[in-house]
Structure 1
Amino acid sequence: MSTLSDNTSDGIRSDTLAAAVAQAARTRRYGSWYVAEHRFRVMRSYAQTVLFTAIGSPLVYLYAMGVGLASLVDGNLGDDAVNVVSYLSFLAPALLASSAIAVASEEFTYPIMLGFKWNPTFFGMNASSIQPGQIINGIVISVAARMLLTCAIFFVFMLVFGAVPRPLGFVAVLVALLTGLAFGALVMAYTATLKDDTGQLAMVQRFVILPMTLFSGTFFPLDVLPPYLQWIGWISPLWHGTELSRVFAYGMPEPIWLSLVHVLYLAALLAVGWICARRLTADRLNK
């Protein structure tokens, strides 16, 4: 009887071990998606804010800036006020790209600090079979999903306001997504270096995002700025994303090589920020 009991116990332990090994293998394979699922569940706690912002922002900005201000600009300069299109058509793609930047500034800053310090879930994830790189991958996946939803809703309002004269205008949504991720990946990498928040993230908002919005050809063409300020736009992911969005939204004339530069520049920023964030996270979690 004792031998039979021991054999039964050994069999149970063997089955439990096999199940644990199988679960660990699944986690190593799908860890990025598990982290993304975790982030989606967290987002559910502020889903009303996400939807309210996604709907309210285009409604307010397109009406106030694209209709209110545009009526003054077009009234003085004509219906082809800027780049041979109305001011609304000129401004809308920039506001679309800016909405992606806004999502990036929310999701790649304080939630990253939360995972490292205030509610260190990243350390708990790393204690399992999930790798540090998968944590970053999962965050990017979840933010990309929210960003795509926000940009898609924004684009619907652009259509409602008549700000997209070209059939290919929907590609601007994908351009805005790339723009937001390119900027957000760099911010995520920077946030991963912070041990404490003593105002650094607020300074990013004030001294990076705000000047980038003002000097990236968002509200007026970049070439109307003095030459000593135009460089801000040239290095800004928002300018590259805005210009490329305008190409698709209303056919802004631009050499194809410059459009290719926009794509390559944004892709390079995304790659650099993503790789740096993965390495910084691995170094921080594996100490």
Structure 2
Amino acid sequence: MSAVHEGRSTPDVATAKARRWGSWYVAEHRLRSMRAYAQTILATSIGNPVVYLFALGVGLATLVPTGVGDATYLQFVAPALLATAAVTVATEEFTYPVLMGFKWNPIFFGMNAAPISGTQIANGLALSVLARILVTCVIYFLFMLAFGAVPSPIGWLAILAATLTGTAIGLAIMAYTCTVEEDKGQMAVIMRFIVTPLFLFSGTFFPLTQLPLYLQWIGWISPLWHGTELGRLLTYGYEEPIWLTVIHVVYPLALAVFGLVAAQRIITRRLDK
């Protein structure tokens, strides 16, 4: 009787499983790694929405009594904060953890010897971060409901819009991080000079049209603005042309596909050196 029939795995069977389920193995490994800072994840997932929504709903909103259009100020800004939370998680997970897998704890090279392909490593990382983003967005949305920031019955779809937004930006960041060989502060630059400006100039706290025309282009190319506008459409019925809504969906989706494909190729090429 063969080893397989006896319930023991042979090298060939193990190899076949790795090639078939490699992406899920990588995702499982990354999710297990997140347990090392699970308390921080939980604290920020609960603390951030409470602090931001309370500050804006009870504090700043009192200074903006007229709201924005037919929505209160809290209803206007809440979808933007939801999308921003997704982007923050994506930035955290697709920067230093990815660089660590190549440099400080080169686990990706060990995975590749399993054998798990570079494409599977990229896919697995994407799946694990997608799971964390989704959980974060669900928790954030529940607090939005508690604060009365979601009057629309289809508002829960904003969770998907925010998840798409974070994933789109995150995968593009992962593609870049995979090219970094020496840490010279590139990850800090991404947060300070890319993510933070997107947060400030993507119509988060006021309509994009309130910015000077020479700054509005930042919002037009920002996936965060597209995700925010889509979230507003879903949570309280923000009115806009249908063609613009289509762009809000297609643009971040295209960026996500581009980022994932680029990351797959870069990781594969780097592991094959």
1:260-271 alignment runs, 5 A limit: 260-271=246-257
1:13-162 alignment runs, 5 A limit: 19-74=10-65, 78=66, 81-162=67-148
Aligned to 1:4: none
Quote the offset at 1:71 in angstroms. Answer: 1.4
Q: Residue deviations 1:115-163, cap 9 Å, x none?
A: 0101000000001121111011111111011100000000000000000
RMSD (CA atoms) = 1.8
Aligned to 1:5: none
Pair 73,27 (structure 1): closer, same or farther in 2 beyond 3 Å:
same
Quote the offset at 1:18 in angstroms. Answer: 7.2
- Secondary structure, counterpart of 1:169 in structure 2: coil
Q: Residue deviations 1:200-255, cap 9 Å, x none?
A: 11011111011100000000000011100000000000000000000000000011
TM-score normalized by structure 1? 0.92
1:163-242 alignment runs, 5 A limit: 163-242=149-228
- Give the length in aligned residue pairs: 273
Quote the offset at 1:83 in angstroms. Answer: 2.1
% identical aligned pairs: 58
For 1:17 and 1:86, the matched residues in 2 are separated by: 62
- Secondary structure, counterpart of 1:168 in structure 2: coil
Please state which structure has a larger fraction of its residues in helix. 1
For 1:150 and 1:140, the matched residues in 2 are separated by: 15
Quote the offset at 1:256 in angstroms. Answer: 1.2
For 1:205 and 1:120, the matched residues in 2 are separated by: 24
For 1:242 and 1:66, the matched residues in 2 are separated by: 18
Quote the offset at 1:108 in angstroms. Answer: 0.3
Aligned partner of 1:162: which letter?
G
Q: Residue deviations 1:8-66, cap 9 Å, x none?
A: 9xx77xx9997111111011000000001101110111111111010000000111123
Contact 1:66 1:91 in 2 (8 A): no
Contact 1:96 1:155 in 2 (8 A): yes
Aligned to 2:233: 247
Name which one, 1 or 2, has greater alpha-carbon Rg: 1
Q: Residue deviations 1:79-110, cap 9 Å, x none?
A: xx202110000000000000000001100000
Pair 244,124 (structure 1): closer, same or farther in 2 beyond 3 Å:
same
Aligned partner of 1:26: which letter?
K
- Secondary structure, counterpart of 1:216 in structure 2: coil
- Secondary structure, counterpart of 2:149 in structure 1: coil
- Secondary structure, counterpart of 1:167 in structure 2: coil
For 1:169 and 1:16, the matched residues in 2 are separated by: 49
Aligned to 1:281: 267
Aligned partner of 2:224: which letter?
L
Aligned to 1:3: none
Q: Does 1:257 align with 2:240?
A: no
For 1:21 and 1:133, the matched residues in 2 are separated by: 21
TM-score normalized by structure 2? 0.97
Aligned partner of 2:29: which letter?
H
Aligned partner of 1:263: which letter?
V
Contact 1:108 1:188 in 2 (8 A): yes
